Structure 1
Amino acid sequence: MSKRGQQADAGLHLLPFRGLRYVPERVGSLAAVTSPPYDVVVRPDGLLHLESADPHNIVRLILPQAATPAARNEQAATTLSHWLADGILAPDPEPALYVYEQRKGELLQRGLIGALALSGPEHGVVLPHEAVMPDIVEDRAALMRATAANFEPLLLTYRSDGSATGTGRGREDSPGREMNEGCETHAAGPTGAAGAAAVIERTIARPPLLATTTEDGFSHRLWSLTDPAEIAEAQSDLAHRQALIADGHHRWATYLRLRTEHPGPGPWGYGLVLLIDTVRHPLQVRAIHRLLHRVPVAEALAALEGLFRIREVDGLSRALDALAEAAATGNAFLLAGDGGFHLIDRPDEELLARTVPQDPPSAWRTLDATVLHHTLLDEVWRIPDAPEHIAYIHATDAAVEQAERRGGTAVLMHPVREEVVLELARQGVTMPRKSTSFGPKPATGLVLRSLSLD
């Protein structure tokens, strides 16, 4: 990989790298060795399912299991070394950018995977929108130090229409609306596509490096892009763009930390990313739910008496519809875990004024995630935001099922509108962590980056 100046210009500098990939003949199937991103894996059930799917599933690298953090990281490094020695994983012969496609029904997403030159938020090139937890950043950093590898591409979005934004549709979407409508039309691309879009369209006409379908119904295809002229064409286009971090804030913070530990030119100045043009491939925006391990629903509701309006709703589908309706006019949440669904909305205004910081902009103060963390968790329920107290779960049914099984409370959230995310990111205002879930997320395990190869 070229060691040229990492931020000579204000824009995205995406460089080719020698991808590390599974050797198909050495594994049961490519689908069986993939995983969702590390923070989407539901533990312990999902972890055990992935580990049993194939002895070489990537989860053994991204979420190694051992008695201590140091032992886990050592185990991941040892596993990676053994898989390389045994030919389970092998590097591609030459540096490449990778065109990656995900498809499920009418949903189609394509983008470029490469090694992105790292820059902090002060440069305004890559815009974060969520806060991070230092302990998680340190956990990911320790894993990357031990393995000298980027196992999972971050999901970044940009716009190809020449605007200064990193993402967004440029139009109003109703709250919670999944932004994949008309994706086939967008995927076909505007007439006369140029730059990265044109490179992607030409590449997908060739045979892919790999094709597989994962158990979630998504088909995945990957192409290698090695022609210097085509790489330069894509790079030239991206060099004028900003990006928004759609998924992977903790990994991005990890990249930046490790870059400061390894100053100067070199592989630590870059991080593995997937760049998606949301003009052509709009993403879905979904909520991330909370599971309160040690708080039964009855206890959570009792503490809310007189502070929120509380209503019972029958059935998950009806409850989510009621949540969407309530969230259109104010803060609203669903509590579940006792076999029922409890809609809480219309919070006491004095309570909000007393608990929500007033310095940030209104768009931040009125976020459901802001009210949840500052008002409910900190003030009403007094629950620390720590793994032993709170789990973050993407799937609604999984959050409800785990709460019912463990006697805890699932706090179901409504999605934040994409334009709110973008506007706050532009202002340099970070949302509470795990406020949004952009997707579809790239499958982990299709292409890895070894820093020792760059």
Structure 2
Amino acid sequence: MNTAGDGLDLRPFRGVRYVPARIGSLAAVTSPPYDVVVRPDGLLHLESADPHNIVRLILPQAGPSGSPQARNDQAASTLHRWLAEGVLAPDAEPALYVYEQRGGGLLQRGLIGALRLSDAAQGVVLPHEDVMPHVVEDRAGLMRTTEANFEPLLLTYRGDGDATGATAVIEATARRAPLLATTTEDGYSHRLWALTDPADIQRVRADLARHQALIADGHHRWATYLRLRAEHPSPSPWDHGLVLLVDTARYPLRVRAIHRLLNRLPVDRALAAAAPFFRVQEVKGPLDRALESLAEAAAGGNAFLLTGADATYHLLDRPDPALLARTVPADRPEAWRTLDATVLHSTLLGHVWGIPEDSPADVAYIHDTEATVEKARRDDGTAVLMHPVREDVVRELARQGVTMPRKSTSFGPKPATGLVLRTLTDD
């Protein structure tokens, strides 16, 4: 059955899930997406939560001298052992999975399935951020060795805003008893249903075939999917990749910023270098109050909040227009040239601080605000805290084919990793 034309083509797959009798609790074996785990503290916390925590598959460790391939081999061995021991097991029949998250006053529902990665998908799925080659290489090595998709990408599409088509099927399904339900330590509740009725699946796929999607989270995994598809002759399981599709007309997401940690630049040096080109002023803490100052400044133009070992907060705003004219590429739309991330990467990192953005030793990308501040203060680096971009700006740039600087946005809530996996050998 292939109802997809020029739009999204989502198909059922045999989900691989934890067997409740073989684990302590479902919450204890789940994890945030791999790039949200703050290493090493977050990694160790998850590893100690349960011996079968999914982090052992998405971020395998093979000792301090372990090569990337050794880590990937370890993940594959762990996956095969858990399947053989019955810790994980494939569902009896292919399904699309209705997934629900609740928390913080937000309700999100969507569909998890295997999305076709056809050549046309380049125009059907819209990326909005650049990717880092070394991260794509890392993810490709893991997926290639384990022959699995452990984490769904988060994709958004704009439905009609009412309970029709796929959304009607989702909401009817959510009134039934779920396959699983759990609450993770962040306070979010999660429920999952299997959608196996052929009529329901046909209705969902026919509706989705009318839409294109924006990558909300998972640009590196999307690039990895396309790379691995190109490595394998079609048809093969590599023609599809695991995704979560959310109708944001019905279930709006939150958009947060991804912060930067400058590992080898103390904050006093960062401020001194920026002072000739930006207004630099100390703002009062604590962190929540300092972030309010950042939001107020960002309403009027580019603004960044810096902190480090001195435990004070400094606002950088009002950049020198002449410097921006010299450093920001002029061949992009105005909406792109005025992004905070554009000014950070093109002007501050590239010219004021002289830091290569693609060097993990120099720049770390961290989703959690408190963790960014804590690591900067502990390691005598500089936390550069960002203000989030509006979703409509992201979507419009993506439709124009304009990619934002890497790690510009963080859409959420992100799906919990470990609720349902896709192994290519079982699909």
Q: TM-score range by the shorter chain?
A: over 0.9
Aligned to 1:318: 289
Give the SS at the match of 1:452: coil
Aligned to 2:6: 10
Please, which runs of 5 or more residues in structure 2 have no aligned partner?
Answer: none
Aligned to 1:410: 383
Offset of residue 314 of structure 1: 1.1
Offset of residue 120 of structure 1: 5.1
CA distance in 2, matches of 1:309, 1:414: 17
- 1:266 matched to 2:236? The reply is yes
Aligned to 1:390: 363
Change (3 A) 1:397 1:11: same
Aligned to 1:148: 147
After superposition, where does 1:40-189 map in structure 2 within 5 Å?
40-66=36-62, 67-119=66-118, 123-161=122-160
Aligned to 1:182: none
Give the SS at the match of 2:425: helix
Aligned to 1:436: 409
Aligned to 2:301: 330
Q: CA RMSD in A?
A: 1.3
Offset of residue 318 of structure 1: 2.1
Give the SS at the match of 1:257: helix
Q: Which residue type is aligned with residue 60 of structure 1?
A: R
Offset of residue 406 of structure 1: 0.7
CA distance in 1, matches of 2:81, 2:423: 14
Which of 277, 282, 285 is matched with 1:307 structurally?
Answer: 277
Which of 303, 313, 319 is matched with 1:347 structurally?
Answer: 319
CA distance in 2, matches of 1:361, 1:280: 29
Give the SS at the match of 2:316: strand
Q: List structure 1 segments (4+ residues) > 4 angstroms apart after TM superposition.
A: 120-123
User: Does the CA-based 8 Å contact 1:121-1:128 persist in structure 2?
Assistant: no
Q: Which residue type is aligned with residue 380 of structure 2?
A: G
CA distance in 2, matches of 1:52, 1:275: 31
CA distance in 2, matches of 1:31, 1:147: 23
Offset of residue 119 of structure 1: 3.8
Please, which runs of 5 or more residues in structure 1 have no aligned partner?
Answer: 162-188
User: Does the CA-based 8 Å contact 2:6-2:120 persist in structure 1?
Assistant: no
Q: Deviations over 1:152-200 (max 9, x none)?
A: 0000000112xxxxxxxxxxxxxxxxxxxxxxxxxxx73xx22111111
Change (3 A) 1:196 1:19: same
After superposition, where does 1:166-315 map in structure 2 within 5 Å?
190=162, 193-315=163-285
CA distance in 2, matches of 1:373, 1:308: 15
- Mean CA deviation greater in 223-232 or 120-129: 120-129
Q: Deviations over 1:74-100 (max 9, x none)?
A: 000000010001101000000000000
Offset of residue 123 of structure 1: 4.4
Change (3 A) 1:298 1:42: same
CA distance in 2, matches of 1:50, 1:204: 29
CA distance in 1, matches of 2:118, 2:316: 41
User: Does the CA-based 8 Å contact 2:229-2:239 persist in structure 1?
Assistant: yes
Among the aligned pairs, what percent are the same residue?
75
CA distance in 2, matches of 1:205, 1:365: 46
CA distance in 2, matches of 1:296, 1:270: 44
Give the SS at the match of 1:272: strand
Offset of residue 204 of structure 1: 1.2
